[in-house]
Structure 1
Amino acid sequence: MADRRNVFLYYHPTNEVEEKLAPLIEVAKQYNFDIVSNYQEANIIISIGGDGTFLQALRKTEFQEDCLYLGINTGDHIGFYTDFTLNDIDSIVAAMKNEQVEVRKNNLIEVSVNGEKPFYCFNECSIRSNVIRTFVIDVYIDDMHFETFRGDGLIASTPTGSTAYNKSLGGAVVDPRLKAIQLTEISSLNNNEYRTLGAPLILSGDSTLTLKVVQDGNDHPIIGADNEALSIRHCHDIKVNIADKQVKMLKLKDNSFFQRVQKTFL
């Protein structure tokens, strides 16, 4: 980290957060870090808030591949992406000085809607009906038609995001060191006309997942990129691949993915 000195802070400004940030900024200056106002000038990006804020920080700073991302919570709660808290700045300093942190790389998925410019997701991309009725999606794996889905929606998630929305739908928890895409159903309808796998499906990182929306009057679905809904009015198809770029996160060595899973769910 010796050559990384430009720090960008991403947070939702409130009087309480600004007050808690002051000691952190002072410590950063003592150790010769520069706080920059433009994330494109930074090589360290710090998210101040919970896991939701961390996901927003990634998107708002365009998933900078040459930066280290660090999550710091504003309260006492430690999340999946926040190993530190603003209430204990001494622990942050000690972890950095004693080399208790390491860089972990997380794969992203690259998503393209209607062949337009692709965007990235850290957790998942979801497609859901925006009206109170089911809709139909033809699911293709590479160039093979796999199934015709009818239901409320589908989620394509990364291993990192397997513990989020995906898990609440009965999806598998996947080791983030694996390069994979998981497809999980949202309330599928199975009858004599429509038949789906009815279980989460994990694809290799070399696969391309294509979801083609059958245009039957319900062709304006809600498309979610992590925790943000996208303003896409008309959707014909969605293509999902493992992205070429990765996100580098600064994490505590003694807080692995499965340790966090254990603490959170068991």
Structure 2
Amino acid sequence: MIQMKITDRKKIALLSSRNPKSEAVSKELWSKLKEANFILTPKNPDVVISIGGDGMLLSAFHKYESILDHVRFVGIHTGHLGFYTDYRDFEVDKLIENLKLDKGAKVSYPILNIKVKMMDGRQVTARALNEVTIKRLSRTMVADIHINHVPFERFRGDGISVSTPTGSTAYNKSLGGAVLHPTIEALQIAEVASLNNRVYRTLGSSIVVPKKDKIVIEPKHDDRYSISVDNRTFVYDNIDRIEYQLDSSKINFLASPSHTSFWNRVKDAFIGEVE
């Protein structure tokens, strides 16, 4: 067994979903991490372990998004499919051994930064790991889309989703968007049920926007809008504009022999075994 010096002891936070299997794994992991001389604390951890599914990891990301440059994440999945998770519920011992051998290696993915600017001058900022989607609550949304200061189109439809490369496999994919490898530092715009006929016209396909470009969406009606940031939804009145850019920080995942490559994740999630 590798013995850690006091100065080498990592601070680890555990976040678990509330289903019985996740809670049982969390209890087992807590006991074994204590026995292995790790420091278990929710304050300023070096590593955050998410136990559950991808939704739980999204919650962990938002809980610790203020210290992204310091913390690394790793997920244990307790269900059938986990796009962000490297370990299964029966691989607790393997994770602990990899943590003992860990030298700080990480795999980094881009995240999204948005600024919601209100007509009264207020501003709300947020970060997303997967995507940010805007919809008008009462009826068809009409919004002007600007890309890199170019007035691109006037959108009419249910809404617009802007995703990160890792988020390209989530809601974006269900909207017909492309799957992007996370090393491609870009954003993707996907339309939600756009109106396209002789009167109203949009591009009608997803748009991949490079890292340097800013996306601006300007709703054309003073109304209530829902803005979904990953697995959280907020409602705002009288939005003037929303600005989207890749954030200066990234999310860092624990790199270990068990870290699954992006294409293996895509294959396992959507294709399965190839005969």
- When the two structures are superposed, what TM-score results if normalisation uses the length of structure 2? 0.87
CA contact (8 A) 2:72 2:253 kept: yes
Q: Confirm or deny: 8 A CA contact 2:25 2:51 kept in the other structure.
A: no
CA distance in 1, matches of 2:100, 2:11: 18
1:26 aligns with 2:31: yes
What corresponds to 1:246 in structure 2?
A: 250
> Which residue matches 1:127?
134
Instruction: Work out the CA distance in 2 between the residues paired with 1:63 and 1:226.
Output: 16
**Cα drift, residue 265 of structure 1:** 1.0
Q: Is the 8 A contact 2:33 2:96 kept in 1?
A: no
Matched ranges for 1:196-215 at <5 A: 196-215=202-221
- 1:16: Cα distance to partner? 5.1
Q: Provide closer, same or farther for how the CA distance between residues 11 and 21 of structure 1 changes in structure 2, counting only shifts above 3 A.
A: closer
CA distance in 2, matches of 1:162, 1:143: 24
CA shift at 1:178, angstroms? 0.9
| SS, match of residue 90 in structure 1 | helix
Measured in 2, the distance between the counterparts of 1:239 and 1:82 equals 30
Match of 2:55 in 1: 52
Write out the 4+ residue segments of structure 1 that deviate beyond 6 Å after TM superposition.
none
The runs of 5 or more residues in structure 2 that have no matched partner are none
CA contact (8 A) 2:75 2:84 kept: yes
Alignment of 1:91-102 (within 5 A): 91-96=94-99
CA distance in 2, matches of 1:14, 1:198: 40
2:270 is equivalent to residue 265 of structure 1: yes
Partner of 1:141: 147
Verify the 8 A CA contact 1:68 1:250 in the aligned structure 2: yes
Gaps of 5+ in 1: none
Identity %: 34
In 1, the alpha carbon distance for the partners of 2:189 and 2:168 equals 10
Q: 1:62 is matched with which residue?
A: 65
- Identify if the C-alpha distance between structure 1 residues 204 and 37 changes in structure 2 by more than 3 Å, giving closer, same or farther: closer
In 2, distance between residues paired with 1:145 and 1:26? 57
The range that moved more, 85-94 or 204-213, is 85-94
Q: Which moved more, 1:137-146 or 1:89-98?
A: 89-98
Over residues 8-28 of structure 1, what are the superposed CA-to-partner deviations in whole Å (9 max), with x where a residue is unaligned? 112244665443322211221
**TM-score normalised to structure 1 length:** 0.89
Distance 1:15 1:169, change over 3 A: closer
Q: 1: distance between equivalents of 2:157 and 2:20?
A: 44
CA distance in 1, matches of 2:9, 2:266: 30
Instruction: Output the CA distance in 2 between the equivalents of 1:30 and 1:235.
Output: 52
Q: Which amino acid aligns with 1:33?
A: F
Alpha-carbon separation, structure 2, partners of 1:4 and 1:247: 22
Q: Does the 8 A contact of 1:78 with 1:84 survive in 2?
A: no
Q: Single out whichever of 7-16 and 153-162 deviates more from structure 2.
A: 7-16
Q: Name 1:89's counterpart in structure 2.
A: 92
Q: How far apart are 1:232 and its partner, in Å?
A: 2.4
Identify the residue that residue 225 of structure 2 maps to in structure 1.
221
Tell me how many residue pairs correspond in the alignment: 260
Q: CA RMSD in A?
A: 2.3
Instruction: Find out whether 1:80 has 2:59 as its counterpart.
Output: no
3-state SS of 1:79 partner: coil
Distance 1:3 1:120 in 2: 31
State the alpha-carbon separation in 2 of the partners of residues 78 and 150 from structure 1: 34
Using the alignment, how far apart are the partners of 1:3 and 1:77 within structure 2? 35
Which secondary structure state, in structure 1, belongs to the residue aligned with residue 30 of structure 2? helix
Corresponding residue to 1:111 among 109, 114, 119:
114
- The CA deviation at 1:188 is 0.6
